[in-house]
Amino acid sequence: MSLPLDGGEHAAGSLDLYSRQAKAFGPTAQAEARRFANEASRALNLAARRAHDREITEQLRAALASRTLIDQGIGIIMGQNQCDADTAFAILRAASQRRNVKLRVVSAELITAVTHRTPRQGRRFQG
């Protein structure tokens, strides 16, 4: 007997039950198996959502840390070129694209060149 497990949009599976006897799963056993599969589907759905949420949280934390470096790079360019933040970002982005290097890497190199120190990552988000 095989029953689908619905893990929502992030997971799927099946509950497969075996017997050594033919027609071993009568109406009562089938109903009990369906109830169990429904409970297992809810557990699978919850586990998949939690894993997805953890992944999103880590991506957001990494984005916040990168953003700190990028903002510092923008500030340095603003000071050096006497320009506004949009113009400084355009300069930074152009350098990133020209060199085919991520914005945070270009910013980190700029910070290091100006301060003669390795830049610190942004504070760890506590949430």
Delimit the domains of the chain by residue range: 2-115
pLDDT band at 125 (very low <50, low <70, confident <90, very high): low
CATH top class, domain 2-115: mainly alpha
Could you report the per-residue pLDDT of 28-61, keeping only the tens digit for each?
999 999 999 999 999 999 999 999 999 999 999 8
Rounded Cα gap, residues 5 and 68, in angstroms: 43
Residue 11 backbone class (left: φ over 0; alpha: ψ -120 to 50; beta: rest): beta
Find out whether 40 and 1 touch, Cβ atoms under 8 Å. no
Instruction: Report the relative pairing of strands 12-16 and 2-6 from DSSP bridges.
Output: antiparallel
Q: What is the pLDDT of residue 109?
A: 95
Kindly report whether the global pTM for this prediction surpasses the value 0.75.
no
Residue 15: beta bridge partners? 3
Residue 2: beta bridge partners? 16
Find out whether 108 and 72 touch, Cβ atoms under 8 Å. no
